[in-house]
């Protein structure tokens, strides 16, 4: 039977990256996506902006919406201090299975909790089921029409505190117009756009960093 692109991405990691070395896993995926098959990872250029936001914030609790193959999961978890936790939500079981293996290859399982399911169903359960009260950082990279409803849901569930940071991928391409309008016009957020390019291309894209003001 034909392999899928995520399966081929995982094979490239297992072939070209060193077990337990997160940087080699990130490099192997970027090399695969540049030279073999494009895939919707945040990528190396926007990944550097993600790294700088994480490093500056030094978060203890991180939520990622949309694991896919685990590329940004590994990038973020690699920068977390000891005992910090990254919860990542993925509703496609095939993607989740690949991501678990990519995360395991990088040796970062202790820092990551991958939960299978739809963000809209899981977000209301996080406080009671995962022992997290609020998130220092949320990385949004799932279906683009879910960014806004899930942000409002996180607000309603009390998962954001004064100073929580939302970092959203793809605010230009494919674009998240309703989310951008919301975080840029709401008095409850202070937003900043980081201009970059769509992963592995010259097309404009960027990340929007929004601080929740409480
Ligand atoms: C609601 C919900 N809950 C849990 N997991 C969810 C979810 N919605 C999606 N997911 C999971 O996240 C992943 C989906 C991510 C969606 N990302 C995208 O659609 C996406 C698309 C592009 C793109 C740009 C230009 C082009 F020409 C073509 C594609 C680039 C990107 O960086 C992207 O993140 C996989 C999916 O199973
Ligand atoms: Mg993306």
pTM of the model: 0.99
Q: What are the pLDDT digits (tens) for 154-181?
A: 999 999 999 999 999 999 999 999 999 9
Question: At residue 38, does pLDDT exceed 90?
Answer: yes
Q: How confident is the model at residue 1 (pLDDT cuts 50, 70, 90)?
A: confident
Ligand 1 center to residue 146 CA distance, Å? 10
Q: What are the pLDDT digits (tens) for 173-203?
A: 999 999 999 999 999 999 999 999 999 999 9
Q: What is the pLDDT of residue 111?
A: 98
Q: Helix or strand or coil: residue 38?
A: coil
Q: What is the largest CA-CA distance in the chain?
A: 53
- What is the number of other CB atoms lying within 10 angstroms of the CB of residue 46? 23
Q: Which residue in 141, 150, 205, 208 is the catalytic one? A: 141
Active site residue 204: no
- What is the number of other CB atoms lying within 10 angstroms of the CB of residue 17? 23
- Specify the residue with its C-alpha closest to ligand 1, atom 5: 90
Active site residue 144: yes
Ligand 1 pocket residue status of 38, Cβ below 6 Å: no
The answer to whether 70 and 109 have CB atoms below 8 angstroms apart is: no
Provide the ipTM. Answer: 0.99
The answer to whether 45 and 23 have CB atoms below 8 angstroms apart is: no
Active site residue 94: no
């Amino acid at each position: 039977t034909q392999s899928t692109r995520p399966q081929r991405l995982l094979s490239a990691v297992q072939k070209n990256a060193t077990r337990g070395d997160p940087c080699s896993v990130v490099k192997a995926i970027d090399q695969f996506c540049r030279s073999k098959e494009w895939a919707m990872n945040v990528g190396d250029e926007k990944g550097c902006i993600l790294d700088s936001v994480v490093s500056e914030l030094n978060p203890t609790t991180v939520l990622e919406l949309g694991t896919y193959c685990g590329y940004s999961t590994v990038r973020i978890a690699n920068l977390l201090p000891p005992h910090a936790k990254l919860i990542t939500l993925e509703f496609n079981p095939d993607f989740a299975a690949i991501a678990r293996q990519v995360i395991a290859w990088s040796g970062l399982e202790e820092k990551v909790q991958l939960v299978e399911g739809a963000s809209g169903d899981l977000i209301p359960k996080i406080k009671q089921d995962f022992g997290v009260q609020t998130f220092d950082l949320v990385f949004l990279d799932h279906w683009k029409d879910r960014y806004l409803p899930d942000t409002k849901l996180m607000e309603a569930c009390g998962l954001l505190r004064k100073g929580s940071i939302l970092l959203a991928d793809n605010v230009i391409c494919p674009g998240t117009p309703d989310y951008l309008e919301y975080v840029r016009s709401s008095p409850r957020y202070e937003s900043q756009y980081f201009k970059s390019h769509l992963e592995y291309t010259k097309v404009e894209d960027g990340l929007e960093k929004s601080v929740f003001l409480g």
